[in-house]
Structures are given as C-alpha cells and as structure tokens.
Amino acid sequence: MNTANMKIHIRGKQNLSGTVRISGAKNAALPELAATILGSSGVELHGAPLVEDVRVMIEALRNIGACTRVDGNRIGIKIPEIKSDLVPREIVQTSRASILMLGPLLARHGHARISRPGGCAIGERKIDFHLEGLCQMGAQIVEDKDHISGRVDTRLRAIHFRFPGKSVTGTENLLMAAVLADGTTVLENCALEPEVGDLIDLLARMGADIQGKGTGTLVVKGKTSLSGAEHWVIPDRIEMGTYVIAGGFAGNEIVVENARPEFIGHLLDILKRVGVKIETSGDSIRVSSGGRLYPVDVETEPFPGFATDLQAQLTTLLTQAEGVSRITETIFDNRFKHTVELQKMGADIIIDRNTAVIRGKTALTGREIAATDLRASAALVLGGLIADGETVVDNAYQLLRGYENMPQKLEQLGAEVRLVGGSHG
Ligand code: EPU
C-alpha cells in the first residue's frame, strides 16, 4: 500500500468507551529484528506490531540477505548468510532505527554501510556514543554525507565503556556488538527502558551471557556464535500511555488491556494529579475522566521518568485542564511542533525555550492540520476527538509508523476515525 498523501479524518466530540488491547512494542521489536543479524539459525518474534517502522526494518534485513516470514503478528527471520552489508537510503529514509544494524553487522560480518536517514523532526539525534563505543571495540568508522561505514579486521574486542549520557539505541547497539566480542564487556550508565530489558531477554534466549538487566551496568561475556530463539515482544508502553491519556478526557471510560502499569508508573501518577481516575488490576488499566482536570508542571526524563514519547499526547489533555500547566522537554531539542497545530485548533500554548506553557481550558475546533512526527500525530488525533467539527490530519504516515491499527482501535471505542487516500501498488 502506498501510504503517501494519506490523511486521517476524525469526527469531533466523540466519547470513547470500551476496551482496547495494546500491541507489541515498536521500540522493542526494532532492536530485536536487528539482533536477528547476530545468528544464522533464525529468530521467531511473537506479538510484533505490524507498523511501518517495523516493515522498514524487515525490508532492510531482506536487503542484506534475510529470509523473512510474516504471519499475523508473528515474524520469522533467518539470515543464513549476509549477502550485502548495505542498508540503502530508499529503505531507511523514514526511520532512524537502521543505525541499530551497525553493531550486529560489524559483530557478525565485519563490515557495514548504513545510509544516513534524513533529518529528524524532533531535533538532533546524535549517535556519537554508538560510534565511540564501536571504535573502542576496534571498528574503523568512516562517516560521509550519505553513509556511516564501519569495518573491523578481526573480531570486535571487549571494552569497559561508560555512556556519557543515557541513550536507548546506543545501549542496544553496543550490547548487540558486545555479545559476539572477544572478552567481557562492561557497559555503564546504560538506558533502563523496558525495551532494553526485552532485548536482553531475546539475546539471552539466543545464548548470550548478559548480567545486570534492569540496572545501569551491563556485563557481557562475548560468545563466538549465537543460536536461534523464539521470543514474545513486550507490550508497547507508549501506545498504552496514549490510550490511557485518551481515557482522561471528559466523558470517556476505557479499559486498556495487555497493559503493564509499571511501564508507565510516572504517567499514571501525573494523570492522578490532573484528576483522571485510574484503577489498575493485573494487566489492565481502567481509566475515566474525573470531571474537572487540574494543571500540572512536569518534565520529560529517561525511564523510569515521564517519557518524551508521551509529552505531545499529554499536552493535548492539558489544554482541557483549568489553569496553567508547564511541560519541559529535556530529551530532544525540537519536540514541540504539535503545539503549533494544536494552536490552530484553538489551544493556548506558548513555547518558552524548552517549556510548553499551556493555558486551559480551551475549546478546540476541527481544522486541517499536519502531523510532523509520530507522537505529534497521536496528539493531534486526540485533539480531533474532542474538537468541535471534523479534523483532518495530513501526513498520516507518521501515525502508521508506530501505532498499530489506531483508527480501527478508536472505532472499537466508539469514535469515527478514517484513513483516507493512499493507493495500492
Ligand atoms: N544522544 C547523544 N549521543 C548519542 C545518542 C543519543 O547525545 O550517541 C542524545 C540524543 O541526541 C538525545 C538523547 O541523547 O538528545 C536521547 O537519545 P536516545 O539515543 O536515547 O534516543 P534514541 O535511542 O535515538 C529512542 C526511541 C525514541 C525515544 C528515545 C528516548 C527507538 C527506536 N527510539 O531513540 O522513540 O524518543 O529513545 O526515549 O527506540 C518514538 O518512538 O517516537 C521515538 C522517537
């Protein structure tokens, strides 16, 4: 399906009620697909979300020689032999996750050429920690305007490396390189996101020896080869958080299933302060509007803090809180583009350096607006659901990159949301 020029049409003033089931985590499936490069016997991923970023990664793996089978949410990948070390631009230009193939390709194949993805809508996305770690492991890295190329003459060697700052894909990339390196690698100040833990579980099933899961220090004893494995992807905490936020608008009552409340503990605390009613039980979260919503001051942080990937969606909710809220973005330097679109709908938001100052409560009106990035698209869909009249969100591809069947899931909750345009071919 050609997803260019697709738009999302949303009928406004729709109350949501019912149950929604959370899909597997995109940001766990992406490194796990890259990890399939590390062995030749094949990996079976269950519960992987069939979103556009995942399709792009599968295509990139096919290009280096992977045999792939997609059966519902089950993805089988086997790479008996690496036939090409190139990750071409036309495949990876829409997703930055291709950098996750660098560590595994160097570890198994000794060379890699990753095309540079285009510019990123949410700010500078540095990869210097990835490259510094791989260089210390013995790789020669050359960067030009089109590619990041790496080569290692013998085997990667173990290192003792402290990340200068927290990086999710940086941790994942060095971890995947270390599992096939010569000796014992110690990685310090690692990211604590659940997706890193889920990757560790897959690598352990493939035979890797990694100690320290859930802590900032990971100790990896390198092996000469890894085996095949079967793995169940964890639920997507950002999708989970998005539907929980949706449940907080006036008149809504949603039960979020296949949830892991501990993945979004910080968000649940914030929403309780805002006045949203939340009950958790096992793997489900019941959320309903508490009537009046109150303003809050929050800032984004690495896990277990409030996730930057939920900042845009919370902004939409806070346009409905009575008073002045402030959201400070500390992870990315340009992640407020959704606020410009929300303002077109009637929101009162001022950006003061890295803080969005949101004055509520404001009525929103349906407009034609544009999604600038994945999480912005979800924030605008939430805005459309409470707006007066119809909202049309251009650049629907952004939503399709990371939310599995969101229009269908919202329809099951009683909304009217349609994807329009695109062509088959
Ligand atoms: N950073 C550096 N040097 C590095 C790596 C990162 O300075 O070598 C900086 C970045 O510039 C940024 C911060 O560190 O300011 C955090 O970046 P990080 O590397 O953690 O981000 P990422 O790994 O590129 C992943 C998710 C993002 C999510 C961030 C933060 C995947 C595939 N992507 O990106 O997800 O926002 O962590 O949690 O896991 C999304 O799903 O919408 C999304 C953007």
- Give 273-305 as a DSSP string: HHT-EEEEETTEEEEE--SS----EEEB-STTS
The minimum-distance atom of ligand 1 relative to the CA of 129 is 8
Q: Which residues pair with 112 in a beta bridge?
A: 150
Strands 7-11 and 67-71: unpaired
Residue 304: is the preceding peptide bond cis (ω within 30°)?
Answer: yes
Q: What is the mean pLDDT of residues 1-17?
A: 88
Q: Quick check: is 120 catalytic?
A: yes
Helix extents (H) in 36-109: 52-63, 89-92, 102-109
Kind and range of the H or E run holding 184: strand 184-188
Which amino acid would we find at residue 27?
N
Which of 125, 141, 299, 375 should be mutated for ligand 1, with most atoms under 8 A from CB? 125
The minimum-distance atom of ligand 1 relative to the CA of 238 is 41
243 lines ligand 1 (CB under 6 A): no
Give pLDDT tens digits for 250-300. Answer: 999 999 999 999 999 999 999 999 999 999 999 999 999 878 999 999 999
Please give the Cα distance from 202 to 31 (Å, whole number): 10
Token pair recorded at residue 124: 């500078």
Give pLDDT tens digits for 190-208. Answer: 999 999 999 999 999 999 9
Please give the Cα distance from 24 to 232 (Å, whole number): 8
Q: Which residues pair with 300 in a beta bridge?
A: 306
Instruction: Give exposure, 182-217, as e/b (b: 16+ Cβ within 10 Å).
Output: eeebbbebbbbbbbbebbbbbbeebbbebeeeeeee
Ligand 1 centroid, distance to 34 Cα (angstroms):
16
Ligand 1 centroid, distance to 95 Cα (angstroms):
12
Helices H / strands E in the chain, number of each? 14, 24
**Residue 177, phi then psi, degrees to nearest 5:** -70, -40
Strands 7-11 and 43-46: unpaired
Order of strands, edge to edge, in the sheet holding 417-420? Answer: 368-370, 390-394, 7-11, 417-420
Give pLDDT tens digits for 98-128. Answer: 999 999 999 999 999 998 876 567 767 889 9
pLDDT, averaged across the chain: 95
% residues pLDDT > 70 (the chain)? 98
Residue 328, helix vs strand vs coil: strand
Q: pLDDT at position 425, please? A: 40
Give pLDDT tens digits for 215-260. Answer: 999 999 999 999 999 999 999 999 999 999 999 999 999 999 999 9
The answer to whether 247 and 20 are in contact (CB under 8 A) is no
The minimum-distance atom of ligand 1 relative to the CA of 95 is 32
Show the domains of the chain with their CATH numbers.
7-23+235-420 (3.65.10.10), 26-232 (3.65.10.10)
Q: pLDDT at position 118, please? A: 64
Which of 23, 27, 306, 311 should be mutated for ligand 1, with most atoms under 8 A from CB? 27
> 72-81, 119-128, 146-155, 393-402 — which is least confidently predicted?
119-128
The answer to whether 184 and 161 are in contact (CB under 8 A) is no
Supply the residue whose CA is at minimum distance from atom 28 of ligand 1: 309
The minimum-distance atom of ligand 1 relative to the CA of 124 is 11
How far CA 242 is from CA of 47, 203, 238, 247, 267, in Å, comes to: 19, 29, 6, 9, 10
Ligand 1 centroid, distance to 125 Cα (angstroms):
7
Helix extents (H) in 179-255: 194-205, 237-247
The answer to whether 160 and 181 are in contact (CB under 8 A) is no
39 lines ligand 1 (CB under 6 A): no
Token pair recorded at residue 214: 């859930």
* pLDDT exceeds 80 at position 2: no
Residue 361: is the preceding peptide bond cis (ω within 30°)?
Answer: yes
| Site of tokens 């792009």 | 56
Token pair recorded at residue 310: 């939920």
Ligand 1 centroid, distance to 319 Cα (angstroms):
27
